[in-house]
Structure 1
Amino acid sequence: MFRLADIPNLRHLRMVQVIGKLGGVSCASRELSTSQPAVTQAVANIEAEIGLPIFERCATGTYPTTIGKQFLLRIDRFFDTLDTALAQVLGRPDGAADRIPPRIERLATGTQLRALIVTCEQGRVSEIADSLGLSPASLFRSARSFERALGKQLFDRTAQGPIPNRTGNYLAREFRRAVRELELARGEVLLAAGTESLELVIGTLPMAGSHDLAEATRRFMSAYPSTKVRLVTGEYHKLLNDLSNSRIDMIFGMLRRPEWADDVSEEVLFTDNYCLVARVGHALTRLENVTPSDLAGYEWVVPQKGTPRRNRIEQIFADEPVRPKFHLETSSLTMIRSLLLNSETVTLMTRSELQNDVELGVLKVLPCRFLDNVLLKGVTTRSDWLPTAAHNAFLDCLREVTGKTNHAGKPDSGSDIRMAS
């Protein structure tokens, strides 16, 4: 794939894009005010990088191959993202309403794009620089050279060194989105040719439903054995930021998009609900109906404050005179499971996440009548996302697996569905 280490020459990519639009080398050379040999060499360089021809040459012009059409679609999205970001930052000077902002390849190189992306990864600059075989200082120099060419301040000077400002972070996010289009462009081409794999990056929330996700992943890998699937677990707002910055392709789990997140879309796949959980043989499993007062005397394993599950746990004891101390805090399913199995602790889990342990007979759902929250679960993606065929196949596997799942039960048509907050 095109990684940060090898972003292609932007001028060469622009020449390839213009050939695709105008249908010939001579037309592209006139449009870009460059020589035909330079355009021809640019095409040869890009084709050499991906290892497959993008165009077919004939007497009537230069036309994209079937694979080339896929590649050019991604290149269009790459430049649209970059050019739109530049126009947003540069705007139009006073008295120059008809002036078009310069194209990205006239202001920056692939090296400078990479430098800005990396230097805006606060807390990870040294780590990423090491992986690229570069020094942080050289990356900052490259980013600052782009800043001078742009004529806009991208970093604020502090005692700790340069820190990206709002404009710098915005451009870094858009550049990262554009580079992801390059990764997908080359990945699609090589996957179609059977010469290299594409990587899907799936963000998963705690209590998302690991049984369903694992089964969908297994089915997908059977159909696409050369494709890599990377599952990244994290809290919602961290994954939402990663999604917005194109570090991941989608989020699987509870749907809880904030009102301000207008750049993402959600698809409901199944319903779920919360249930109280303890080990088999726990004293509470012998009760016919567990009440909040019964639960108050036990130690709880809880997630961090502010999460929907923590909010629901605290609501259980809102009217109780005695409340648990909540001294055990973790979102690690492995740790939660270990604590439940080896102590008298209790917790709140989603029914989908509990499925395997109940079937194995190691954990038990406690009987209670006050948990009626229905949770909507599914996938969250960027609104402007263009999935590859592999991404669509993965989504189809998720739909197929979760289509047979309804952990909350189907509500009556006239019932009042109470959503988790």
Structure 2
Amino acid sequence: MDLRALLTTHLKLRHLVIVLAVAEHGSLVRAAEELYLTQPALSRALREAEHAVGASLFERTVRGMVPTPAGAACLEHAKAIVGHLGTLRRRVDELNDPDAGLVQVGAHVTGANLLLPRAVARLMAEKPRVEVRLREAPPETLIQELGSGDLDLLVGRVTDHPSTARLRLVPLYREEFRIVAALSHPAHTLPHVSLPDLAAYRWVAPLANTPLRDELELNFRNAGLAPPAQQVESGAPATLRTLVVEGGFLALMPETMAIAEPNVKILDLHLDGLAQQVGLLLHPDRPLTPSAVLLADKLREVADEMGRDIGPDAYTALVDPGKGPTSS
């Protein structure tokens, strides 16, 4: 890296912040309001940024300010740089006050019901002044927020997929997704459950362009079936549960979540490719803050307990730690 050349660059942090604001709002007026700048001052700073980069970063369209290809490249780096600076500030704050801190963690269905809550509880017991912000959203949104520095780490399904190609993946334990239905669902009365039988029912499908959705549809195709005609797409655990319990939908649910939910029952059908690694999804270049490192340690502790080779009695202990396997 040519450090001397960087000393002479005209591209400043304020330019990157302005580029991010214009991209977010799609309007010079709204970006200026967000940053408490006049529009002429913001326009001048944007021209300075374009001069420093050596290319036009936005074009005016009927849909507002749209990034050019150079602008899209600039945005990708700007998000990373601003995210790094935010993490640096929090790391220094925690070095000055080791008992305090902030961890921002995202979760999507997998790991959100047992793994993450138990790890957070252990973290808070050890460091009560640490603030934890939990974020549940679709995987694509969480990955974008991890890249921009709005999240320190993600907890969820760890698998090779285009959406996770740029992340550092740390597997913690293995779990299977199972097909679930409400206790009164007619599928439970089938003498032998098969995918052709279940294709006729309504489904809550995983979000499009996720590994789980791809694998579910692959199971239908391999069985010579089209995906269910009546389906709702959702990745929110609360919505999924309500649709299953009250709406009569079938759905895929992590096995530990299904066992812990008294109002649903697992159907006796295993689909191919739905056993999964649950773990951490991390930014490949951004170090964790001390509090985030501690949470990662707690997640590993809980995952080790959940990931043992366990039988039905031990699953009772998994969902109710007060009850364990009995020995004869």
Q: Which category describes the TM-score, using the shorter chain as reference length?
A: 0.7 to 0.9
Q: Does 1:373 align with 2:281?
A: no
Query: What is the aligned partner in structure 1 of residue 176 from structure 2?
Result: 273
Tell whether the 8 Å contact from 2:15 to 2:46 is kept in structure 1 after alignment: yes
Q: 1:127 to 1:216 in 2, by over 3 A?
A: farther
Q: 1:160 to 1:300 in 2, by over 3 A?
A: closer
Deviation at 1:390, TM superposition (A): 1.1
For 1:231 and 1:128, the matched residues in 2 are separated by 28
For 1:366 and 1:379, the matched residues in 2 are separated by 29
For 1:376 and 1:276, the matched residues in 2 are separated by 18
Q: 1:350 to 1:182 in 2, by over 3 A?
A: same
Deviations 1:204-249 (A, max 9, x none): 2233442211111121122232222222223333333333333322
Give the stretch that moved more between structures: 127-136 or 391-400. 127-136
Q: 1:311 to 1:189 in 2, by over 3 A?
A: closer
Q: Does 1:293 align with 2:191?
A: no
Query: What is the aligned partner in structure 2 of residue 401 from structure 1?
Result: 302
Deviation at 1:252, TM superposition (A): 1.3
Deviations 1:265-304 (A, max 9, x none): 1110111112110112323234464111321332112133
Deviation at 1:388, TM superposition (A): 1.9
In the TM superposition, 1:103-114 aligns within 5 A as: 103=7, 107-114=10-17
Query: What is the aligned partner in structure 2 of residue 332 from structure 1?
Result: 236
Tell whether the 8 Å contact from 1:249 to 1:381 is kept in structure 2 after alignment: yes
Q: 1:117 to 1:279 in 2, by over 3 A?
A: same
Deviations 1:340-364 (A, max 9, x none): 112332112221332431xxx2111
Deviation at 1:110, TM superposition (A): 4.0
For 1:200 and 1:369, the matched residues in 2 are separated by 36
Tell whether the 8 Å contact from 1:340 to 1:346 is kept in structure 2 after alignment: yes
Give the stretch that moved more between structures: 150-159 or 340-349. 150-159
For 2:309 and 2:216, the matched residues in 1 are separated by 18
Q: TM-score, normalised by structure 2?
A: 0.79
Query: What is the aligned partner in structure 2 of residue 241 from structure 1?
Result: 144
Q: Larger relative CO (CA 8 A, sep 6+): 1 or 2?
A: 2
Deviation at 1:386, TM superposition (A): 1.4
3-state secondary structure, aligned to 2:24? coil
Q: 1:325 to 1:161 in 2, by over 3 A?
A: closer
Q: TM-score, normalised by structure 1?
A: 0.63
For 1:299 and 1:124, the matched residues in 2 are separated by 42
Query: What is the aligned partner in structure 2 of residue 178 from structure 1?
Result: 81
Q: 1:255 to 1:152 in 2, by over 3 A?
A: same
In the TM superposition, 1:122-141 aligns within 5 A as: 123=26, 130-134=33-37, 138-141=41-44
Unaligned runs of 5+ in 1: 1-83, 88-98, 411-421
Q: 1:395 to 1:124 in 2, by over 3 A?
A: farther
**CA RMSD, Structure 1 to Structure 2 (Å):** 3.3
For 1:383 and 1:167, the matched residues in 2 are separated by 23
Unaligned runs of 5+ in 2: 312-328
For 1:408 and 1:137, the matched residues in 2 are separated by 64
